[in-house]
């Protein structure tokens, strides 16, 4: 349950007990008459403790004087024991409580809700249960049918024809935990709860209140269910956006763009530091790439292997590290979060001679990839964007550092890595062990990727970020 819908339910109940949820009807029999009928009914309940105890006119006036808030004129303040008989349930041995339902067993409720199932039942009907011990005392549950209430649950039996659901919602709104006593082990006694003030509406209005609450809560339930569906839709929408992006269908092509084939040649000429820099794709090899291409791409695009667009792919440094925020920050598996670097989850290490770790210092737009992790997390990436000038962060173990050719838009490549296409492409190469999986650099280098013209890469990134920002805003407002 989200905090928003939780607060909405709370507000509805608060309005209900204040007489502000439904309009008053002057034709309704006032609550004072209902209270008198309840009192006459009380005398027939032989199990009621202190059945002869009545509220005098003077006591009734005192209730009004100490009322927690204002209620409509047709309502009445009364004590909880004026409208209900409260009694704790009965002890049941822990070994007699089954964790799972079996035939001929009945639900067993304790102070905090359902505990399990037992062979006997203490009540049959619809009752509100009040938790009486522990940090959650005052917790309200609703039991229906045949059930067993333990000694830690106070069962609320209503007099007259008051709707049990109204009692349930009213008790939830009253926050009975505020009346608990004791620090180490808070508790609520029946005697103490009996004295709690209850705002009693006329019976017809009481029934209308229940109807409105039920309708409102049903709508909130639907909203919560739709939120889950909408969250799933947003996730699918992002995946679809990336899929359109890598297929050349997210933004229009510009015939004035330099084609990706020329871009590819320029990259080759600048990859002096790349291993096997002299290796080139011949025209025949290029045609083979197109023949075995996973899907069709625009004419101005090119299929390339990952090794064709990277300067290097390196394993991380093996350095003892911890979560203590002292020393030099080092990336960890936990650092990768939603395609970006989560700085709050860095590891740290006391490195005194940085010269021994220069080759592991991250550069802007380096892409970190999890290559030893659980199967579903292998291949996940995050792109590094420095927070400040001359920031020094060490690339840690279990992560690959993929340094993209500076000519390219590294954000575009990172979006490819986060697409379902890339997940499917690396899946055959992921090696599963007992508790973890991995993928090696050689297999990564052979993965084929779609390469658009550079100007289109920039346009695609701008479009993706604009769409994702809108989707994130919707997600955050759910």
Query: Domain map of the chain by residue range?
Result: 3-209, 254-453
**How far does CA 407 lie from the centroid of its chain?**
39
Averaged in consecutive runs of 10 residues, what is the pLDDT profile of the chain (478 residues)?
77 92 92 87 54 41 62 93 93 92 93 92 96 86 96 92 93 90 80 92 94 90 79 87 93 93 84 46 41 83 93 88 75 83 85 83 93 83 89 86 94 94 91 78 93 95 92 77
Contact between 112 and 133 under an 8 Å Cβ cutoff? The reply is no
- Give the architecture (CATH level 2) of 3-209: Alpha-Beta Complex (3.90)
Contact between 311 and 405 under an 8 Å Cβ cutoff? The reply is yes
Which strands, in side-by-side order, build the sheet including 339-341? Answer: 310-315, 399-404, 367-370, 381-383, 339-341, 336-337
Kindly give, in sequence order, each residue whose CB lies less than 8 Å from that of residue 63, ignoring residues fewer than 6 positions away. 55, 77, 78, 79, 197
The pTM assigned to this predicted structure is 0.59
Kindly give, in sequence order, each residue whose CB lies less than 8 Å from that of residue 431, ignoring residues fewer than 6 positions away. 437, 438, 439, 440
Same fold, 3-209 and 254-453: yes
CATH level 3 topology of 254-453: Adenine-n6-DNA-methyltransferase TaqI; Chain A, domain 2 (3.90.220)
Q: Give the CA count within 13 Å in the CB-facing half-sphere of 215.
A: 8
Two tokens at 367? Answer: 């892409």
Report the candidate in 347, 277, 351 with the shortest Cα–Cα distance to residue 312: 277
Instruction: State residue 402's pLDDT score.
Output: 95
């Amino acid at each position: 349950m989200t905090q928003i819908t939780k607060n909405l339910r709370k507000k509805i109940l608060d309005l209900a007990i204040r007489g502000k949820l439904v309009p008053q009807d002057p034709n309704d029999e006032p609550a004072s008459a209902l209270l008198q009928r309840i009192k006459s009914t009380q005398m027939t309940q032989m199990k009621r403790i202190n059945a002869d105890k009545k509220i005098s006119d003077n006591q009734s006036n005192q209730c009004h004087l100490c009322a927690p808030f204002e209620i409509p004129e047709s309502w009445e303040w009364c004590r909880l024991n004026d409208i209900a008989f409260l009694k704790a349930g009965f002890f049941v041995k822990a070994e007699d409580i089954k964790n799972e339902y079996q035939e001929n067993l009945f639900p067993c409720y304790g102070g905090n809700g359902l505990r399990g199932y037992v062979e006997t039942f203490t009540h049959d009907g619809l009752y509100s249960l009040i938790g009486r011990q522990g940090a959650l005392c005052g917790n309200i549950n609703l039991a229906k049918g045949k059930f067993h209430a333990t000694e830690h649950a106070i069962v609320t039996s209503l007099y007259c024809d008051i709707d049990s659901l109204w009692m349930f919602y009213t008790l939830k709104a009253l926050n009975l935990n505020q009346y608990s006593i004791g620090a180490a082990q808070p508790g609520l006694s029946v005697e103490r709860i009996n004295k709690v003030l209850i705002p009693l509406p006329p019976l017809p209005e009481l029934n209308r209140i229940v109807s409105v609450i039920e309708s409102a809560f049903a709508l909130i339930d639907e909203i919560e269910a739709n939120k889950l569906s909408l969250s799933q839709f947003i996730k699918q929408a992002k995946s679809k956006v990336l899929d359109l992006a890598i297929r050349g269908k997210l933004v229009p092509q510009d015939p004035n763009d330099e084609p990706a084939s020329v871009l590819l040649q320029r990259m080759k000429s600048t990859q002096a530091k790349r291993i096997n820099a002299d290796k080139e794709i011949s025209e025949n090899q290029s045609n083979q790439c197109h023949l075995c291409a996973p899907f069709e791409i625009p004419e101005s695009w090119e299929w390339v292997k990952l090794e064709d667009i990277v300067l290097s792919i390196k394993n991380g440094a093996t350095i003892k590290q911890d979560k203590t925020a002292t020393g030099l920050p080092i990336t960890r598996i936990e650092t990768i979060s939603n395609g970006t670097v989560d700085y709050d989850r860095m590891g740290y290490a006391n490195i005194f001679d940085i010269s021994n770790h220069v080759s592991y210092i991250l550069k802007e737009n380096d892409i970190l990839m999890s290559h030893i992790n659980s199967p579903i997390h292998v291949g996940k990436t995050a792109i590094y964007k420095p927070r400040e000038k001359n920031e020094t962060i060490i690339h840690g173990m279990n992560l690959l550092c993929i340094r993209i050719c500076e000519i390219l838009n590294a954000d575009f490549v990172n979006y490819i890595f986060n697409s379902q296409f890339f997940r499917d492409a690396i899946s055959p190469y992921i090696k599963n062990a007992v508790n973890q999986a991995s993928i090696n650099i050689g297999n990564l280098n052979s993965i084929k990727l779609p390469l658009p013209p550079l100007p289109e890469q920039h346009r695609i990134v701008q479009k993706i970020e604009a769409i994702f920002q809108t989707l994130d805003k919707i997600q955050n407002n759910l």
